[in-house]
């Protein structure tokens, strides 16, 4: 087995102290190292194949090189939906310039957040990004002053979040459905009806319909469960409950993929018989048969913006804004009857 090269060996090779090696390899500011000495150390490190120990680098910088991403999603959603991979891609885009890495943890209850607090306070991670807010008003004060960024809105001026303006996206989709002049309307959720996100989107959906004197029958709402198979089953159930359904809003594109498969396999024309709309604009949506009308939710940008905000907090730089909303975009394709 090849032996690990130590800082002491580099120091001896370069004719400097181990402390100087540490300062040079970790780019310690205000170390007062001459350019000639710095180059001598770098050359010695290259000659010997020296790689600084990650923990030593963190100690030299006075902070961890890790950022924690805390997933507050059901286990099945994490692996069935591209949402989390898109978020991770965005975060990585933002933090890799500063050579941070991402540690991923799943949180199942408010009690599990003690792990996050321990990791922050012990220095194991420099900051944290959480996918949902599961703290109540009673315990959220314990987070004040910590480098934590939420990916959903938190109604507290002392907390930081970057969120997609989902209500705006739902309203755009409802306005498009109204313009289609097709009734009755069906809905396929991507999670149980008692979930906060589902309840919020349904409330926005209903309110926007009501502004045009259109109602949504409760029996025309069917639960999905993150993966396309459930969208397939939900579409079958919806047609059993309401055979004359004319337009279906799938709360994410994964549900729409399954719903469209059911319709295509059973000879039900889209959009001639049933118009179909989704939400998220995942990559495959433009290549379905027919291509899917949907709302583009900028998930990669969400990760990037959250990562950038977190870096400002880690560097003790006051951010321009504590709360950031990202806009959505309605993408009209043939599944709702558009000829675009």
Tell me how far apart the alpha carbons of residues 264 and 281 are, in angstroms, rounded to a whole number. 20
Quote the pLDDT of residue 233. 98
Tell me how far apart the alpha carbons of residues 135 and 122 are, in angstroms, rounded to a whole number. 21
Quote the pLDDT of residue 340. 42
Quote the pLDDT of residue 212. 94
Domains and CATH numbers, the chain: 7-61 (1.10.260.40), 66-164+299-326 (3.40.50.2300), 166-297+331-336 (3.40.50.2300)
Residue 211 vs residues 43, 67, 171, 179, 206: alpha-carbon distances, Å: 70, 44, 11, 13, 9
Question: Is residue 110 over pLDDT 80?
Answer: no
pLDDT higher for 112 or 158?
A: 158
Mean pLDDT of the chain: 88
Under 8 Å between Cβ of 113 and 135: yes
pLDDT tens profile 291-339: 999 999 999 999 999 999 999 999 888 899 999 999 999 999 999 976 4
pLDDT higher for 55 or 320?
A: 320
Confidence of residue 33 (pLDDT cuts 50, 70, 90): confident
Under 8 Å between Cβ of 260 and 276: yes
Question: Is residue 2 over pLDDT 60?
Answer: no
pLDDT higher for 80 or 167?
A: 167
Helices (H), the chain: 7-14, 18-25, 35-48, 54-61, 75-80, 83-95, 113-122, 166-180, 196-210, 228-241, 253-265, 299-314
Confidence of residue 77 (pLDDT cuts 50, 70, 90): low
What is the DSSP pairing of strand 275-277 with strand 247-250? Answer: parallel
Residue 215 vs residues 130, 209, 219, 222, 329: alpha-carbon distances, Å: 35, 6, 12, 16, 24
Quote the pLDDT of residue 189. 97
* Mean pLDDT confidence for 106-127: 80
Q: SS3 for 336?
A: helix
* Mean pLDDT confidence for 206-234: 95
Quote the pLDDT of residue 61. 54
Tell me how far apart the alpha carbons of residues 190 and 266 are, in angstroms, rounded to a whole number. 22
Residue given tokens 């309307």 in the structure block: 185
**What letter does residue 31 receive in the DSSP assignment?**
-
When mean pLDDT is compared across 79-88, 153-162, 179-188, the lowest value belongs to 79-88
Quote the pLDDT of residue 257. 97
- For residue 267, how many other CB atoms are within 10 A of its CB? 7
Residue 270 in tokens: 């889209």
Tell me how far apart the alpha carbons of residues 241 and 234 are, in angstroms, rounded to a whole number. 10
- List, in sequence order, every residue forming a beta bridge with 197; answer none if it has no partner: none
Confidence of residue 38 (pLDDT cuts 50, 70, 90): confident
3-state secondary structure 106-168: ECCCHHHHHHHHHHHHHCCCCEEEECCCCCCCCCHHHHCCCCEEECCCCCCCCCEEEEECHHH
Question: Is residue 4 over pLDDT 90?
Answer: no
Question: Is residue 168 over pLDDT 60?
Answer: yes
Angle at 161 between CA 70 and CA 136, to 5 degrees: 70
* Mean pLDDT confidence for 120-147: 84
Tell me how far apart the alpha carbons of residues 240 and 264 are, in angstroms, rounded to a whole number. 16
Question: Is residue 209 over pLDDT 60?
Answer: yes
Question: Is residue 3 over pLDDT 70?
Answer: no
Quote the pLDDT of residue 1. 42
């Amino acid at each position: 087995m090849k032996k690990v090269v130590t800082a002491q060996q580099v120091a001896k090779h370069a004719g400097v102290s181990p402390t100087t090696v540490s300062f040079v390899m970790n780019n310690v500011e205000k170390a007062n190292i001459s350019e000639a000495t710095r180059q001598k150390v770098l050359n010695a490190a290259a000659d010997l194949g020296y790689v600084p120990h990650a923990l030593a680098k963190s100690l030299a910088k006075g902070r961890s090189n890790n950022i924690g991403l805390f997933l507050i999603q059901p286990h099945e959603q994490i692996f069935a939906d591209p949402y989390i991979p898109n978020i991770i891609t965005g975060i990585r885009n933002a933090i890799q310039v500063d050579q941070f890495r991402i540690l991923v943890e799943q949180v199942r209850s408010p009690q599990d957040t003690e792990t996050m607090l321990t990791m922050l306070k012990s220095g194991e991670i420099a900051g944290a990004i959480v996918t949902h807010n599961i703290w109540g008003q009673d315990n959220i004060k314990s987070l004040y002053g910590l480098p934590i960024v939420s990916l959903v809105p938190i109604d507290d001026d002392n907390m930081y979040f970057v969120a997609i303006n989902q209500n705006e996206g739902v309203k755009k989709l409802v306005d498009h459905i109204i313009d289609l002049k097709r009734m009755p309307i069906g809905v396929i959720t991507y999670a149980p009806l008692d979930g906060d996100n589902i309840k919020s989107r349904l409330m926005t959906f209903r309110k926007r319909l009501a502004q045009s004197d259109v109602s949504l029958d409760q029996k025309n709402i069917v639960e999905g469960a993150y993966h396309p198979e459930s969208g397939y089953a939900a579409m079958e159930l919806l047609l059993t409950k309401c055979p004359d359904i004319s337009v279906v809003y799938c709360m994410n594109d994964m549900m729409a993929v399954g719903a469209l498969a059911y319709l295509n396999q059973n000879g039900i024309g889209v959009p001639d018989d049933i118009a179909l709309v989704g939400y998220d604009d995942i990559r495959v949506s433009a290549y379905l048969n027919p291509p899917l009308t949907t709302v583009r939710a900028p998930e990669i940008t969400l990760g990037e913006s959250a990562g950038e905000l977190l870096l400002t907090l880690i560097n003790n730089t006051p951010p321009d804004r504590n709360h950031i909303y990202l806009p959505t975009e309605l993408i009209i394709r043939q599944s709702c009857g558009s000829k675009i």
